[in-house]
Structure 1
Amino acid sequence: MGNVMLDPKQITAVILAGGEGRRMQGADKGLLGLWDKPLVAHVLKRLTPQVATVIINANRNQQHYRQYAPVISDSLAGFAGPLAGFEAGLSHAPSEWVLFVPCDSPLVPTDLAERLCAAISHPGQIAVVDDGSRLHAATALLHQSLLPSLNDYLEGGDRKLQLWFARHEVLTVDFSDQAEAFTNLNTPEALAQLEKTGEE
């Protein structure tokens, strides 16, 4: 690709809503309400203007999610984590580049796709968000050519994102200027706290 800028308007975004919500008492996180809308609707609203297409990766309540966007499910059984969502997204996306965002990040930056795309210079790279204090490994931009490597890794039985990333060239993209945009709502308390702060 040389240094041709990757155009965010040509990529697909996949909202990862396929988890089992263990820390949310098994709730389907993407459908939890925040400011009178489900979390997935907030993520969708922020991602839609940034990319060509948005798809939702969900393993239950698919008919509910379909009200918002096309839905794809994991091909791996049993809530296999973000990598299973990556596998589904890379397999089904209509574009070569796919941006993944967890459904519990309702405040994702409006320039997320643009900044991750700008970091990439060839298809072997994975661009991942770094908020200045930690890596948000599930918020990442990947190319479909990594699918065979991912399938191979998953077939080996491993599920850890970082271990698979370690096999590839990972670019950390600095979002420390918007660290609060990656507030993960992993607990009912975190959700209640954000609800109180008022919308955006």
Structure 2
Amino acid sequence: MTIAAVILAGGQGRRMGYVNKAHLALDGERFIDRQLRLAGEWAEERIVVVNDASRAAELSVPADVRVILDRYAGEGPLAGLHAGLQETTKPFAWVIGCDQPLIDANAARLLLERMRDGGHQAALPIIDGRPQPLHALYRAETSEIAGRLLASGERKLLSLLDRIDWIGLESSDFGAQGISARFADDIDTPEQYGRLRS
């Protein structure tokens, strides 16, 4: 296989009241455990990126999952993506936010298929007209571009898209394959978490 799953779990969870969202639960299962289980059904390699050693110590994950630290600590998801892509031994990475509990390997497979067909560096879902840089597929070598951005002081993950060749898939592309676009939902607030659980 050629796929790594990279889960970004270094966020501060400000809008959630500074709760570590990786430890939120759905149907009695932590988000991070659910993601590792679902990603492991497709990806050969699983990596969790955190922003400091205390976060790493809080995680209890299977022995074959690598937990690594941001190389640009505290600099947000672009730093997490950079670290994960640097660490993977696979040519493609499925990059997931730890607050996305409804991930779908079928959606990721479709993204990979379209990305490889066109020789693109990334494939992103476009939900409600907006590109979603997480639950997206990236070629591992885009880590070099992310690293240059971080070294220059750039912190926005979306700014990476201005510098790479990427393709976007609309909700209708997923729907045509029987895939609900809810895979891209992220849980940022207690209200969103309540709706998810209900």
1:102 aligned partner: 97
**Conserved 8 A contact 1:29-1:39:** yes
Could you report, residue by residue, the CA deviation over 1:124-144 in whole angstroms, capped at 9, with x for unpaired residues?
A: 521111234432112221122
2:58 aligned partner: 64
Shift in Å at residue 42 of structure 1? 1.7
**Conserved 8 A contact 1:123-1:143:** no
> What does residue range 168-179 of structure 1 map to in structure 2 within 5 Å?
168-176=164-172, 177=175, 178-179=180-181
Shift in Å at residue 106 of structure 1? 0.8
Is residue 2:188 matched to residue 1:186?
A: yes
Q: Could you tell me which amino acid in structure 1 is paired with residue 184 of structure 2?
A: F
Could you report, residue by residue, the CA deviation over 1:49-77 in whole angstroms, capped at 9, with x for unpaired residues?
A: 11111111122431332424321110112
Q: Which moved more, 1:69-78 or 1:132-141?
A: 132-141
Instruction: Tell me, in whole angstroms, the C-alpha distance in 2 between the residues paired with 1:117 and 1:124.
Output: 10
Q: Which moved more, 1:100-109 or 1:168-177?
A: 168-177
Shift in Å at residue 110 of structure 1? 3.0
Instruction: Tell me, in whole angstroms, the C-alpha distance in 1 between the residues paired with 2:4 and 2:105.
Output: 15
Shift in Å at residue 156 of structure 1? 0.7
Is residue 2:28 matched to residue 1:33?
A: no
Figure out how many residues of one structure are paired with residues of the other and give that number.
Answer: 187
Q: Could you tell me which amino acid in structure 2 is paired with residue 106 of structure 1?
A: P
Q: Give the counterpart of 1:87 among 78, 82, 93.
A: 82
Q: Which moved more, 1:83-92 or 1:68-77?
A: 68-77
1:23 aligned partner: 15
Against the structure 1 CA distance between its residues 110 and 149, is the aligned structure 2 distance closer, same or farther, given a 3 Å change threshold?
Answer: closer
Against the structure 1 CA distance between its residues 110 and 139, is the aligned structure 2 distance closer, same or farther, given a 3 Å change threshold?
Answer: closer
CA RMSD of aligned residues (A): 1.8
Instruction: Tell me, in whole angstroms, the C-alpha distance in 1 between the residues paired with 2:127 and 2:111.
Output: 13
Could you report, residue by residue, the CA deviation over 1:153-180 in whole angstroms, capped at 9, with x for unpaired residues?
A: 1111011122221111121023442122
Q: Give the counterpart of 1:118 among 89, 113, 124.
A: 113
Tell me the SS of whatever aligns to 1:190: helix
Q: Could you tell me which amino acid in structure 1 is paired with residue 121 of structure 2?
A: Q
Shift in Å at residue 123 of structure 1? 5.9
TM-score, normalized by length of structure 1?
A: 0.85
TM-score, normalized by length of structure 2?
A: 0.86
Instruction: Tell me, in whole angstroms, the C-alpha distance in 1 between the residues paired with 2:155 and 2:32.
Output: 24
Shift in Å at residue 115 of structure 1? 0.8
**Conserved 8 A contact 1:126-1:142:** yes
Instruction: Tell me, in whole angstroms, the C-alpha distance in 2 between the residues paired with 1:175 and 1:57.
Output: 28
Against the structure 1 CA distance between its residues 117 and 66, is the aligned structure 2 distance closer, same or farther, given a 3 Å change threshold?
Answer: same
Against the structure 1 CA distance between its residues 101 and 159, is the aligned structure 2 distance closer, same or farther, given a 3 Å change threshold?
Answer: same
What are structure 2's unaligned runs of at least 5 residues? none
**Conserved 8 A contact 2:108-2:135:** no
Instruction: Tell me, in whole angstroms, the C-alpha distance in 1 between the residues paired with 2:20 and 2:104.
Output: 23
